[in-house]
Amino acid sequence: MQRYFVPTSHFNENTVYISGDDVHHISRVMRMIEGDRVYCCNDLGETCISEITKITNEEIELHVVEWLENSAELSVRVSIASGLPKGDKLELIIQKATELGAHQFVPFNAARSIVKWDEKKGDKKIERWNKISKEAAEQSHRSIVPLVQKPISIDELIRISPSFDYKMVAYEEEAKEGEKAKFVQLLSQMKAGQSLLAVFGPEGGLTDKEVLKLNEAGFLSCGLGPRILRTETAPLYVLSAVSYHFELQG
């Protein structure tokens, strides 16, 4: 069944109303009819099986058949903070990291970011990034859509960091020196329901000054194995490791 994310305000007792672009997708792309069923997820991460009862050009009306208790969400909330990379690399990170369970994305302007944030084109960029997140969440049967925030500075990143239980920065110099225990130790300390803010540099990596500033703010510098990973690969490595530790190992 197809999955759609619907604002909680569009749930009325046992009835759900879908509007916007999803109306076109349901009626024109998927060619669904009355009696077909879909998954509907609200803002609280709750999912139900719903049956289409009415289709108009502006709205789809559905009846709630059953609320589901199972969830595909990671038991810990991992936020990905990426130094703005060039090209469409951030779009790739958002898509794949959403499939792997990321909770939210916090792009930031790093010293070595080639791409500089353009405020004039910013709103369209953020809208596109969040659309990619939504589509990836639907495809991977997530219960929530990870939010992609507007890019911030590294100082702003540090200011919001106290709201997280754990903070780490992937630092290639640690990997070069063979460090491989800190990330494992961090995961072993985390418990279900806690949060992790993971920071990754752009193509040229983070500067020593940036890493020092993060370390002074309580971020743990971690190596990610013996190989140097690309900016778009490192977040996926971390999320895969988190999934292995909390889901596959039980």
The model's pLDDT over 202-247, given as tens digits with 9 standing for 90+, comes to 999 999 999 999 999 999 999 998 888 999 999 999 999 999 999 9
Domain of residue 50 covers: 3-68
**Residue that has been written with the tokens 């916090």 in this structure:** 106
**Total count of domains within the chain:** 2
* Shared domain check, 97 and 52: no
CATH code for position 234: 3.40.1280.10
Nearest CA among 73, 239, 81, 85 for reference residue 145: 73
For the stretch 55-94, pLDDT in tens is 999 999 999 999 998 888 999 999 999 999 999 999 999 9
Q: Amino acid letter at 22? A: D
Q: Please indicate, yes or no, whether residues 26 and 60 belong to a single structural domain of this protein.
A: yes
Do residues 34 and 103 both lie within one domain? no
Give me the CATH number covering residue 58. Answer: 2.40.240.20
Domain boundary among 36, 68, 100: 68
**Residue 90 contacts residue 230 (beta carbons within 8 Å):** no
pLDDT digits 0-9 by tens, 105-140: 999 999 999 987 888 888 899 999 999 999 999 999
> Same structural domain for residues 170 and 233?
yes
Please tell me whether residues 179 and 135 are part of one structural domain.
yes
DSSP 8-state secondary structure symbol assigned to residue 43: T
Alpha-carbon distance 54 to 63, whole Å?
A: 9
- Lookup: tokens for 30: 């998927």
Per DSSP, what are the bridge partners of residue 169?
199, 221
Q: Which of 105, 126, 106, 108 is nearest to 116 (CA)?
A: 108
Last residue of a domain, one of 68, 91, 116: 68
Residues 48 and 90 in one domain: no
| Same domain membership, residue 61 and residue 167 | no
Same domain for 174 and 94: yes
